[in-house]
């Protein structure tokens, strides 16, 4: 499977986990980011994700490669949703396999932190009362 990919329909974690299966691996660590009903003290009703796919896939794949090289894990992948999501929806999934659990936990944390700060994905939240805003963009 692709190391980093976008999904335009619901993500199935069990299916993704199986694509990383290896008999030499005793650990699978996954992270799921879910759509939360509040942000910065404001109730959130739903959100939209938008991505610049050509660069996002390149940068996301670089992050996966960095994690594999840095932590010595066997396999890793990340899938991020695009489009309109409802509360509780799975927005981003990260999976890492390794011989032992320690490296897999570290690599999983590295991947989600780097994806959030480097990959060109934007989130627009919709609030009670009808207003909305692009996160990290609308403060000036």
Partner 1 sequence: MAKIRVQYFAILRERAGRAGEEIDTVAATAGALYAELEGRYSFPALRSVKVAINDEFCPWDAPLSPGDSVVFIPPVAGG
Task: Identify any residues that bridge with 46 across adjacent strands, giving them in sequence order.
Answer: 86, 126
User: Would you say 91 and 85 are in contact if contact means Cβ atoms under 8 Å apart?
Assistant: yes
103 versus 111: smaller Cβ distance to partner 1 = 111
8 versus 140: smaller Cβ distance to partner 1 = 140
Out of 67, 92, 96, 107, name the contact with partner 1 by CB under 8 A: 92
Alpha carbon separation from 20 to 12, 28, 63, 90, 96 (Å, rounded): 14, 8, 17, 19, 8
The reply to whether 121 sits near partner 1 by the rule CB under 8 A is yes
User: Would you say 29 and 105 are in contact if contact means Cβ atoms under 8 Å apart?
Assistant: yes
Classify residue 130 as left (phi > 0), alpha (psi -120 to 50) or beta.
Answer: left
d(CA 59, CA 28): 23
51 versus 74: smaller Cβ distance to partner 1 = 51
The reply to whether 15 sits near partner 1 by the rule CB under 8 A is no
d(CA 26, CA 46): 37
37 versus 100: smaller Cβ distance to partner 1 = 37
The reply to whether 119 sits near partner 1 by the rule CB under 8 A is yes
Q: Which of residues 43-72 bind partner 1 (CB under 8 A)?
A: 49-52, 54-55, 58-59
10 versus 140: smaller Cβ distance to partner 1 = 140
The reply to whether 2 sits near partner 1 by the rule CB under 8 A is no
Where does this chain bind partner 1 (CB under 8 A)? Answer: 33, 49-52, 54-55, 58-59, 80, 91-92, 112, 115-124, 134-138, 140
């Amino acid at each position: 499977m692709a190391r980093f990919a976008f999904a335009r329909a619901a993500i199935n974690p069990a299916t993704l986990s199986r694509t990383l299966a290896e008999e030499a691996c005793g650990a699978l660590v996954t992270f799921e980011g879910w759509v939360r009903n509040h942000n910065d003290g404001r109730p959130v009703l739903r959100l939209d994700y938008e991505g610049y796919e050509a660069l996002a896939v390149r940068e996301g794949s670089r992050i996966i490669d960095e994690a594999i090289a840095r932590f010595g894990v066997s396999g890793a992948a990340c899938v991020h949703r695009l489009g309109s999501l409802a509360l509780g929806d799975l927005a981003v999934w990260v999976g890492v396999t390794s011989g032992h659990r320690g490296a897999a936990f570290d690599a999983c944390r590295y991947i989600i932190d780097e994806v959030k700060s480097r990959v060109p994905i934007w989130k627009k939240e919709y609030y009670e009362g009808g207003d909305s805003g692009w996160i990290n963009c609308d403060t000036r």
